[in-house]
Chain A
Amino acid sequence: MRHLKILEYALSSLWRRKYKNMAIILVYAFTIAVLASILFLTHALKTEASFLLAEAPELVVQRVSAGRHELIPLEYGDRIRKIPGVAEVHPRFWGYYYDALVEANYTLLEANADHTPLEMLDGHLPAAPGECAIGSGVAAVRKIGPGDDLILVDSTNMGIVFEVTGVFRSPSDLLTNDLVILDRADLIEFFGTPPDLATDISVRVNNPKEINTIAEKIKRQMPDSRPISRSEILRTYAAVFNWRSGMMLSVFAAALVAFCILAWDKATGISAEEKREIGILKAVGWETSDILELKFWEGMAVSLTSLLLGLLAAYVHVFFLGATVLTPVIKGWSVLFPTFRLIPFIDPYQILVIGFLTVPPYVASTVIPSWKAAITDPETAMRG
């Protein structure tokens, strides 16, 4: 009963200074929104990447020439197949396409690759030459759907017409957003890939623990090859996103410093009006602990409101507005076109970290100066 009444008084006290408190909540919520946006976006991107890589082959072998990725001879596949421990070998055909019409990058992929998440297709995969299936980002920028035509310009500068047979629907836009799936023969012809070459080779091994050993054997037998394991790609993604979020966190640090200055300013003194109020409360019989409880509730109300507003703003910014402020820094150029919408993935641990970083310092900055006033004689405190 007593605690509820003090809480009620705390809320009415905040309402009395509504303009000042609203200004604090605004600054506070903005700081939290910036921090939460970075964490939400980074986490969502990492989760999308792990979705993507869950479907990726355990080992991909590329050919490197002068440090650049080159097409790989199909004959390399035969040699890899003979290495003990290798279960399956599939040459893969894919490539990038820049669509000058809408200024977007697409990824063109062969249709019958068994690593493609086919079950996510809305419609059907291309079953014959001249057909294609596209990601939702491609469908959006070209404003097309099943039954429409997609015209792409091939390596001989000829416009090729493909009929759209399906549009991908996926829990992860990163996975399928920029995809254009073509019949294998169409893809080889479109890029003008020589008949004895593939883009890269996917390898499945019997024992996943042997991946690194097999990768070493491939590298030894074919020195111009570059075997890349799925775990290496995952580490690279994590490093890239961590590095970019690190950059953003440095920017955020400036906002945090501003917040700390605000909190410090609050912690180092309270106004004469507040001191007078504490003096009056003491004079009419409030104990020091009652005043500390009152200030604790005030601090909690402001900081929790700011935390909720900040988290909500970050959620809307990242998952509804596409993180318009942070996207250019965090995502990088390669996934910018066509733009895609992130699927909300939130880690409760991150929420706890944000809460822990922001709520206790603010509550402490509210309670500590009040404690100093509350242990003073009411007579002295009332003078302000």
Chain B
Amino acid sequence: MECLIQTENVSKTYNARRPDEFRALEDISLRIGQGEVVVLKGPSGSGKTTLLSLIGCMSRPTAGSILVAGKNVAKLPERFLTRTRQRTFGFIFQQFNLLRDITVMENVLLPLYPRETRIGEMQERGRTLLVQLGIESKQHSKVYQLSGGEQQRVAIARALINDPEIVIADEPTAHLDSKLSVDLLGILDNINRMGKTILIATHDPLVYEHPLITRTISMRDGRIEGVSTP
């Protein structure tokens, strides 16, 4: 399996050299192959979300290197880092991070506004995704009018609109009940079948015990505790 993501001795320290200095990650080295569905599991504060945000180019490590498709993103200038984030990653956040007072369709199309994609084509792509996720009837609704499960689907549609190679999901079931969580895993399964690599941070057994998962990385106190393959 071709290696898509590789981290070498990655560390992340917040508020360095200040009294409230906090080491969130320490010496993280891992390899994730293309098409894998990898779970980062561990208790709150174990560093799962920090690791996801470093791999997803949302912030930079204090030390170490992160290679995404062979490119060291830890050293990329801001402009190129954003471009990598835009073209390579789709994010599903724990809090959904949708803009509440715009429509579902506008939220889904957000990543495409600063790109040279025609409006007609943008809307077509948006509609196709909403149909696939079963929420096309909500495309003109405002986000605050939706249920938690529907908002989660909007966040998934937005993550997929750029057709990213890697989908990153941070605690995707945190705000869903069991039925909706199972539905979500079904959706992630479909996404994986499209050839996408999926990286999930969770402490929900429903997720990390699902047959879809190819590898589980256990974390504690900013370090990798163990790796298991089902």
Contact = CB atoms under 8 A, between A and B. Distances in A.
Contact of A283 (B97, B116, B119, B162): B97
A16 B53 CA distance: 29
A282 B53 CA distance: 13
The 6 A-B residue pairs with the shortest CB-CB distance in the complex, in nearest-first order: A285-B86, A290-B114, A284-B111, A377-B59, A379-B58, A287-B82
Interface string A257-301: 000000000000000000011011111111111100000000000
A249 interface: no
Interface stretch (A1-9, A20-28, A311-319): A1-9
Contact of B116 (A2, A284, A375): A2
A231 interface: no
Nearest to A1: B116
A287 B79 contact: yes
A379 B101 CA distance: 21
Chain A contact residues: helix, strand, loop or mixed:
helix
A288 B58 contact: no
Contacts of A380: 59
A378 interface: yes
A285 B59 contact: no
Contacts of A2: 113-116
Range for the number of chain B residues in contact with chain A: 20 to 34
Interface in A365-381: 375, 377-380
A378 B99 CA distance: 15
Contacts, number: 76
Interface centre among A6, A287, A289, A380 (most CB of B within 10 A): A287
Given A5-B114, A12-B106, A285 B101 contact: no
A150 interface: no
A375 B113 contact: no
Range for the number of chain A residues in contact with chain B: 20 to 34
Given A2-B113, A285-B83, 6 more contacts: A1-B116, A280-B97, A280-B110, A282-B82, A285-B82, A382-B93
A379 B79 CA distance: 16
B193 interface: no
Contact of A382 (B87, B97, B106, B110): B97
Interface centre among A281, A283, A286 (most CB of B within 10 A): A283
A84 to B, nearest CB: 80
A20 B62 CA distance: 40
Contacts of B60: 377
Nearest to B89: A285
Given A12-B106, A375-B78, A378-B58, A287 B97 contact: no
A6 B59 contact: no
Interface string B68-108: 00000000001100110111000101000111011000100
Contact of B99 (A5, A6, A277): A277
